[in-house]
Amino acid sequence: MSTQSSLAGQRILVTGAATGIGRACVEALAGRGARVWAGHQAGQEPLMDELIRSMAAQGGTVLAVEADVADAASVDAMFASIAKDGPLYGLVNNAGVILEKPFLQTDERDWRQVMSVDLDGVYRCCRIALQGMAAQGGGSIVNVTSDLGFLGREEYVAYCAAKAGVIGLTRALAREFAPHIPINGVAPGPIETAMVSPANMSAEWIAREVAIPAGRLGQPAEVAAAVCFLLSSEASFFTGQILGPNGGSWMGG
């Protein structure tokens, strides 16, 4: 396996690591020699076991930790478990949910469900991670947001609002913790995952998403590459930045 010296041996937590972009981040980071803690929800143990075995066969180190980022006590317990292994260098806030529903049908429960994971979960993880990073004098955080946090989209109001909040949170924290702790984000465009795929989405949705300049859905590994860069020493002059692996979606079709 190739090893990137600035990440080799570093302890990095990735939330929402069982599938999609999160799994791709775990694979890419472990492939660069990091010691990766993979956060997952209850019931995803078989996926995590398979991921751990797969990476071990390639010489990578992945450790699983269960947590629900929507629950403060669960997040506390996750970080306490990781702390027993040693100081945390990096955090990738990837856990998220998406809701497609017209705004006038989006009730308080829907709204809170999305916010509690997509925005509050990022706040909770950043708050605990930054306490340790500040005490040790360094670290790095990458928050996974979305191009819809910039663009907006009808019938995705809660999701767009939460992801826009993550962008604001990222930039504000970057100012507060500079210069010693870089805090950046990635805002993917349409990425093909189990949740977002031709098998699960309508033909109309797919047609709209691939109408971007790149003419296709992105792949999780393409987002993971941006995450790895931002966590590495090569990105030492990046903070408060939101990279956009989006196939040109910000430019329109």
Is the link from the previous residue into 102 a cis peptide, with omega within 30 of 0? Answer: no
Q: What are phi and psi of 23, to 5 degrees?
A: -60, -45
Whose structure tokens read 């590459």? 225
Q: Which residues partner with 142 through β-bridges?
A: 92, 184
Torsion angle of alpha carbons 51, 6, 121, 17, nearest 10°? -10
- Is residue 58 classed as helix, strand or coil in its secondary structure? coil
Helix (H) or strand (E) holding 81: helix 72-83
Amino acid at position 116, single letter:
S
Please tell me which residue in 89, 123, 156, 159 is annotated as part of the active site: 159
**Catalytic residue status for 123:** no
Strand order of the β-sheet with 140-144 is 61-66, 35-40, 11-14, 90-93, 140-144, 183-186, 242-243
Q: End-to-end distance of the chain based on CA atoms, in angstroms?
A: 38
Pairing relationship of beta strands 183-186 and 242-243 according to DSSP bridges: parallel
Q: Which two tokens stand for residue 156?
A: 């995705």
Distance CA 201, CA 13 (A): 30
For residue 109, count other CB atoms closer than 10 A to its CB: 7
Query: What are the catalytic residues?
Result: 159
